[in-house]
A and B are shown apart, each in its own frame.
Chain A
Amino acid sequence: MDNYVISVCQRYANDRTRLMDILLDIQRDLKGIEPAVMEHIAGQLGITRVEVEGMVTFYAFFSSKIKGDVVIRVCSDIIDRFAGGREIAKIFSEELGIAVGETSADGRFSLEQTPFLGMSDQVPAAMINEVIVTHLTAEKVRLICSRLKAGVDSGDLVQNTGDGNNSHPLILSEVSNNIRHAGEVLLCQVPADAGLNSALQRRPQALLDELEESGLTGRGGAGFPTGRKWRVAASTSAEQRYVICNADEGEPGTFKDRVLLTERADLMVEGMTIAAYAMGSTAGIIYLRAEYSYLRAYLESVLQTRREQGLLGKNISVKQGFDFDIRIQMGAGAYICGEESALISSCEGLRGEPKNRPPFPVESGYLGFPTVVDNVETFCCVARIMDRGGAWFGSFGTGRSTGTKLFSVSGDCASPGVYELPFGITVRELLERVDAPDAAAVQVSGPSGEMINMSQFERRLCLEDLPTGGSVMVFSLHRNILEIVDYYLEFFVEESCGYCTPCRVGNVFLKKRIEKVRKGLCEMEDLDYLKELGKTIAMTSRCGLGRTSPNPVLSTIRNFPLVYAVLLKEHGDGLQASFDIQSALEESRRLAKRRSMIYDPNYDEA
């Protein structure tokens, strides 16, 4: 055991900043990271055990207890739930004889839930070790379980591989791309390395000018102008700069980066290489979420092929002095790591907590060096802009939101999948394309975005109106809006890093009150409570997660007031409906071992 831990730590040169990788390897090999192992790791890295424990207990894919040889994670997202996800979890539970959260006595299986797998267009889905299974039915789950019990390796569970590169020998996944509409920028045929070749013939400054001319804004959701961000990073004086690709696609309902990673990996790396050239960087990182582990071997091969082609490494494209290489950093199950500074923390081997800003990552990011973090889709756009020009890119979309955008559409529609369309299309246009005649509510940009009602379907998807990182979830009339709100609050409670008070505690209070509303135990005043609490959380939280976490409540109070109104009651007797004297007395009765003379009608019989 000692030797094993030592060898893993040495694999990463006993480098404390590589603690993520060390823990990922140990979790995979030992199925858990117990306190004694934490102690060994700490000793080897020259840190304390509690620092290692802090890491292990932060990430959902790490465990301080030994997990089963096969870990099954059923996606609990609301889109999966509405497609029968709970029943799927129940059948796994019955077939394996363990409840969610348990490990079988023989140590073979663990059953868990995971908040979002990125498969909303092929629900219900689950992850079995690193293998993704989709479109689950009771029958399919029973078959999977019987095969697993018979000793079939999780890697051999896939019977029919998906379209495109999902059938690549290094992926072999049953995941489907579901590309429903290929636009003119990213999902059309793209020439290999045309952007990079064009870029390398120009001065870095000219690339930044081109980027600013294109009007490209960050595709992850925040919509910050990419050119401006790169210019700041390029203008800092530093020995090193880092280029990081954010492939931690965790916003519920988003899965377009998964498709780009599968079908446009070269284009993405091309964009990162252009960024490195424009800013003077020699090192990059792709931060890949743990849920997409099945893409890792393929992405490694893409990088390796590019090294062999002279497109990564030393003197790229025989350009003397332009060196750039990329490593893949795997995540370990934490939505917050999609936030750029939390992502950087994670790359540094720390708990995935956002950093205080300023300094901003472009000034002081990864290991204290200027760092540019951009979304997968953003880098892909960069490569296309360098090939076709900023003016060409700017000819798509609206004034502030240029280019096309990949929309991930899921929920109550006939054609869920990825649509590449110009920014600025209306929600109604999109709903027609996805064939969703029964749509009654649309959650735009995931739970941190806005839930809109039918009267708002003429609104446009762009920064000027409804900004989105790509997630569009459609809900029909028979869905319970408050069930959705309740679930998303559960999601935020689960995924809050806990760093700051309002996000850590306030979201728990929001959820508790929504549960009461759903039970019909609330009055009009409770709406004020929700609005005030939501405002405090939004105004005082430290990062974007906290600042947007009350949106499921606040946007539905605004856009679906009647949903609340029917559940809120006036109580003529002046008593709170939520107060139940009998249950309030229960503990006292138990402790006193007698009944209440005043409140128990059958006191005398006791």
Chain B
Amino acid sequence: MNKSFKFEIDGIEIEAQRGQSIMQAADDAGVYIPRLCDVEGLEPQGSCRVCVVKQNGRTVSACTQPAIEGSKVENETEEILGYRRDLVRMLYHEGNHLCPICEASGRCELQAMGYRLGITQATKYPYLQPVRPVDASHPDIVLDTNRCILCGRCIRASRDLDGKHVFEYVGRGIHKRVGVNGNMLADTNVELNDRAIDLAVCPVGCIIQKGRGFFAAIGERQFDKKPITLGVGPGKGSGKP
């Protein structure tokens, strides 16, 4: 059953194990597919769509789509890069992402993805500028959902790794956001040591650990030194933060 097979990503032959997603097979082979909501150790959910690729001509999310024997996958073509830029721009404009004043600058995957895709100036979309109260009720943790990109990594980590289910999506459509199990974070049983609060889980500056702000100087942070790619940032061999 554990038979391996081959398929192609951008003309490069990849070996995959039966049952693997395109993303898993690519990671194993050392081919980077950009991603935001997918992170090693959590169930893939396919919501950010940044890992969109074409499999035999059909657009699919690489993190949820099984690799198919003999298939041809397009990853870094101009068309796919265009979609990814649009998706990352959408996330920038949906929230308030003011990198120069954000604690996560330099270790933020959204910012790093913007740089990787060459988004270096104001984009064509309007800013939605949400105004949601910052939840600083918890002694150790701050939650600023104005910076949330709805990747759901904290939800899955809290539910599947911590067994707590502190976070969950609430609302629908553009009003969808991450809610907490109570009126505010202090009402919940979340703790600083929870996996959900690990700096590697929140890709942006939405979940912030109090007292650890600017633990590394800006300019000295992970993505300040190396662009986001395999082994830098989440995914196989993640060295984040």
B-contacting residues of A (Cβ < 8 Å)? 35, 47-51, 53-54, 57-58, 334, 351, 356, 358, 493-502, 504-506, 508-509, 512, 529, 532-533, 536, 539-542
CB pair A500 B171 closer than 8 Å: no
CB pair A496 B174 closer than 8 Å: yes
CB pair B176 A498 closer than 8 Å: yes
- Complex CA–CA separation, A127 to B23 (angstroms): 48
CB pair B87 A509 closer than 8 Å: no
User: Given A498-B176, A505-B90, A505-B91, is A58 in contact with B47 using a C-beta cutoff of 8 Å?
Assistant: no
CB pair A505 B64 closer than 8 Å: no
- Complex CA–CA separation, A541 to B167 (angstroms): 24
- Complex CA–CA separation, A504 to B90 (angstroms): 9
CB pair B179 A356 closer than 8 Å: no
CB pair B49 A540 closer than 8 Å: yes
CB pair B126 A512 closer than 8 Å: yes
- Complex CA–CA separation, A496 to B150 (angstroms): 14
CB pair A54 B83 closer than 8 Å: no
Chain A residues lying within 8 Å of B66, measured Cβ to Cβ, are 358
CB pair B176 A356 closer than 8 Å: no
CB pair A505 B170 closer than 8 Å: no
Q: Does B61 contact A (CB under 8 A)?
A: yes
CB pair A501 B173 closer than 8 Å: no
- State the Cβ distance, A2 to closest chain B Cβ, in Å: 19
User: Given A49-B182, A53-B179, is A504 in contact with B170 using a C-beta cutoff of 8 Å?
Assistant: no
- Complex CA–CA separation, A494 to B174 (angstroms): 8
Q: Which of B45, B52, B168 contacts A540 (CB 8 A)?
A: B52
- Complex CA–CA separation, A540 to B150 (angstroms): 17
- Complex CA–CA separation, A540 to B44 (angstroms): 16
Q: Which of A58, A508, A533, A542 contacts B46 (CB 8 A)?
A: A542
A-contacting residues of B (Cβ < 8 Å)? 44-50, 52, 59, 61, 64-66, 82-83, 86-87, 90-91, 93-94, 124-126, 128, 149-150, 164-176, 179-183
- Complex CA–CA separation, A497 to B175 (angstroms): 9
CB pair B165 A498 closer than 8 Å: no
Chain A residues lying within 8 Å of B179, measured Cβ to Cβ, are 50, 53-54, 57
The residue in chain B whose Cβ has the minimal distance to the Cβ of A51 is B168
Chain A residues lying within 8 Å of B59, measured Cβ to Cβ, are 539-540
- Complex CA–CA separation, A506 to B65 (angstroms): 23
CB pair A506 B176 closer than 8 Å: no
User: Given A54-B169, A54-B170, A505-B90, is A48 in contact with B181 using a C-beta cutoff of 8 Å?
Assistant: yes
- Complex CA–CA separation, A500 to B179 (angstroms): 17
10 closest A-B pairs (Cβ-Cβ)? A498-B176, A505-B90, A50-B181, A50-B168, A536-B86, A496-B173, A48-B165, A356-B64, A48-B181, A498-B173
CB pair B87 A501 closer than 8 Å: yes
Q: Assuming A334-B172, A498-B171, A539-B83, what are 6 further A-B pairs, CB within 8 angstroms? A: A48-B165, A50-B167, A51-B168, A54-B168, A356-B45, A540-B49
26 residue pairs bridging A and B, Cβ less than 8 Å apart: A35-B183, A48-B165, A48-B181, A51-B168, A57-B170, A57-B172, A358-B65, A493-B174, A496-B173, A497-B172, A498-B150, A498-B169, A498-B171, A499-B176, A500-B47, A500-B49, A501-B90, A501-B94, A502-B49, A504-B150, A504-B174, A505-B90, A505-B128, A506-B90, A509-B125, A536-B87
User: Given A493-B174, A509-B125, A542-B46, is A533 in contact with B86 using a C-beta cutoff of 8 Å?
Assistant: yes
CB pair A501 B49 closer than 8 Å: yes
Chain A residues lying within 8 Å of B47, measured Cβ to Cβ, are 499-501, 542
- State the Cβ distance, A59 to closest chain B Cβ, in Å: 8
The residue in chain A whose Cβ has the minimal distance to the Cβ of B124 is A529
- Complex CA–CA separation, A54 to B178 (angstroms): 9
Chain B residues lying within 8 Å of A58, measured Cβ to Cβ, are 170-172
The residue in chain A whose Cβ has the minimal distance to the Cβ of B167 is A50
- State the Cβ distance, B198 to closest chain A Cβ, in Å: 20
Chain B residues lying within 8 Å of A541, measured Cβ to Cβ, are 49
Chain B residues lying within 8 Å of A48, measured Cβ to Cβ, are 164-166, 168, 181
Chain B residues lying within 8 Å of A496, measured Cβ to Cβ, are 172-174
The residue in chain B whose Cβ has the minimal distance to the Cβ of A357 is B64
Residue in A48, A49, A541 with the greatest tally of chain B CB atoms within 10 Å: A48
Chain A residues lying within 8 Å of B44, measured Cβ to Cβ, are 356
Q: Which of A494, A505, A540 contacts B93 (CB 8 A)?
A: A505
CB pair B168 A502 closer than 8 Å: no
Chain A residues lying within 8 Å of B91, measured Cβ to Cβ, are 501, 505
- State the Cβ distance, B147 to closest chain A Cβ, in Å: 15
- Complex CA–CA separation, A502 to B168 (angstroms): 21
User: Given A57-B171, A539-B83, A540-B49, is A504 in contact with B165 using a C-beta cutoff of 8 Å?
Assistant: no
CB pair B46 A498 closer than 8 Å: no
CB pair A50 B180 closer than 8 Å: yes
- Complex CA–CA separation, A51 to B50 (angstroms): 27
Chain B residues lying within 8 Å of A505, measured Cβ to Cβ, are 90-91, 93-94, 128, 174
CB pair B46 A500 closer than 8 Å: yes
CB pair B126 A495 closer than 8 Å: no
Chain B residues lying within 8 Å of A351, measured Cβ to Cβ, are 169, 172
Chain B residues lying within 8 Å of A47, measured Cβ to Cβ, are 165
The residue in chain A whose Cβ has the minimal distance to the Cβ of B149 is A501
Chain A residues lying within 8 Å of B83, measured Cβ to Cβ, are 536, 539-540
Chain B residues lying within 8 Å of A539, measured Cβ to Cβ, are 52, 59, 83
- Complex CA–CA separation, A533 to B181 (angstroms): 36
- Complex CA–CA separation, A540 to B49 (angstroms): 6
- Complex CA–CA separation, A542 to B64 (angstroms): 11
CB pair A504 B173 closer than 8 Å: yes
Q: Which of A356, A508, A536 contacts B174 (CB 8 A)?
A: A508
- Complex CA–CA separation, A505 to B47 (angstroms): 12
Chain B residues lying within 8 Å of A493, measured Cβ to Cβ, are 173-174
Residue in B50, B94, B166 with the greatest tally of chain A CB atoms within 10 Å: B94
- Complex CA–CA separation, A504 to B126 (angstroms): 14
- State the Cβ distance, A19 to closest chain B Cβ, in Å: 13
CB pair A49 B181 closer than 8 Å: yes
Chain B residues lying within 8 Å of A532, measured Cβ to Cβ, are 82, 86
- Complex CA–CA separation, A502 to B169 (angstroms): 17
Chain A residues lying within 8 Å of B48, measured Cβ to Cβ, are 500-501
Chain A residues lying within 8 Å of B172, measured Cβ to Cβ, are 57-58, 334, 351, 496-498
CB pair A498 B49 closer than 8 Å: no
- State the Cβ distance, A336 to closest chain B Cβ, in Å: 8
- Complex CA–CA separation, A147 to B3 (angstroms): 72
CB pair A502 B180 closer than 8 Å: no
